[in-house]
Structure 1
Amino acid sequence: MATTHLSRAALLVIDLQRDFMPGGALACHEGDAIVPGIDALLRTRCFGHVVATQDWHPPGHVSFASSHPDRAPFENIDLYDHPQTLWPDHCVQGTPGAALHPGVDWSGVGMVIRKGNDPRVDSYSAFRENHGPGGARPSTGLAGWLRERGVDTVYLCGLARDVCVLWSAQDAARMGFRTRVLWDLCRPVTPGGDEPTRAALARDGIAVADAAALAG
């Protein structure tokens, strides 16, 4: 893959972890299909900076359905006056399912953000936690880290396209970064999430691209 070097751009690889792969605790539709393409893109070293995110939940996390008696996975509850999807237990700290996918060469990653480690608050976005007590969305520090390195453009890939990739892209755009989602290197929780995801990206002025568009 021949690519142009993108010195002022960062690639965010979102939650490419074992539990989100087919057979995992919270499998995304065809989640494993994007692994070779992401590995190939990272090996080009075309981005000035690469960041990976990693779901890193303690046992008993508030987002787990098992933490709520009489609730089932994928039900929605009200949490801190905002909707919260309840998930199967997944990406529990230190477990094999929380590991970054071994099929990717991670040696070029400059930063790994572990998110969701507050047992009271879920965390989809690479930039900010979800709404917590008091309604706040605390920063992960990523935006400042990128700005310190002169990054003005963010590309995103990974899992899941309709949840953590979407929230990360929306926050990147709100924080003033030019934002591109590499659609071919993402997958949704279920295919039904794709149409509303495209609509949300278009509404927020976020471009959809393919990794092939980086060839040059």
Structure 2
Amino acid sequence: MTMKVDYGSHDALLVVDMQNDFCEGGALAVAGGAALVPSINAEIEAARAAGALVVASRDWHPVDHVSFSHRGGPWPVHCVQDTPGAAFHPDLALPDDAIRVSKATAFDADAYSAFDGTGLGGYLQEKGIERVIVCGLALDVCVHATVLAASREGFTTLLLEALSAAVDPDAIEACHRDFEEAGIEVRA
């Protein structure tokens, strides 16, 4: 299943945090995360066939990251650099030429958006990207932050909600309000 996006060479498909720790059995699992992989793979294939750029972000935390609960943060230990939990889901078909963006790599600062401290915005602008299409995990955390940041960076932004899942389904309504206020298209 694809989302029927009319991709072109000025588009980037940004797949957010499709990592083992965010899928079932992981340290911070999002219900339904792994089930998204086949549809995201189809979307990647459609984007590539139309000449769009494919980007994949990942949480890439150092040991003892500030966001971990034992350090006073809100989350359990997850996506620690070079661990199986930080790896992309094994069935995610990322092309070899996909751009991989690591975020939240500093010990003392967290980052939810794929644009936060990564240089992604400038890179996409250099590549002539005008529109960013976003999907992945988790809708109410890193996807939310990434979508809003893409819009703030000046990109036309589209969220593929059917290819995203939330940690807290009750938070989706608030996310929708934020997206609407920012003028972001949400495709269910």
User: Structures share a fold, TM > 0.5?
Assistant: yes
Mapped to 2, the partners of 1:160 and 1:175 lie a distance apart of 21
Please give the secondary structure, in 2, of the residue aligned with 1:7: coil
TM-score relative to the length of structure 1: 0.81
The alpha carbon displacement at 1:199 in A equals 1.1
1:67 aligns with 2:67: no
Counterparts of 1:185 and 1:29, CA distance in 2: 13
Deviations along 1:151-176, one digit per CA (max 9) or x if unpaired, are 00000000000110111111111111
Which residue is 1:97 aligned to?
A: 85
TM-score (norm 2): 0.92
Q: Structure 2: where are the runs of 5+ without partners?
A: none
Instruction: Map 1:5-154 onto structure 2 (within 5 A).
Output: 5-44=7-46, 45=48, 46-68=50-72, 86-107=74-95, 109-128=97-116, 139-154=117-132
Q: Which protein has the larger Cα radius of gyration, Structure 1 or Structure 2?
A: 1
Paired residue for 1:179, among 128, 151, 157?
A: 157
Q: Structure 1 residue 22: deviation in Å?
A: 1.4
What amino acid sits opposite 2:125 in the alignment? R
The corresponding residue for 1:191 is: 169
2:142 to 164, 172, 186: 164
**1:14/1:158 contact within 8 Å kept:** yes
Among the aligned pairs, what percent are the same residue? 43
CA distance in 1, matches of 2:28, 2:51: 30
- State how far apart, in whole Å, the 2-side matches of 1:207 and 1:3 are: 12
State the shift of 1:29 in Å. Answer: 2.2
Out of 47-56 and 178-187, give the one that drifted further. Answer: 47-56
* Helix, strand or coil at the partner of 1:25: coil
Mean alpha-carbon deviation: is it higher for 42-51 or for 144-153? 42-51
Query: Taking structure 1 as reference, are residues 47 and 121 closer, same or farther at Cα in structure 2, changes over 3 Å only?
Result: farther
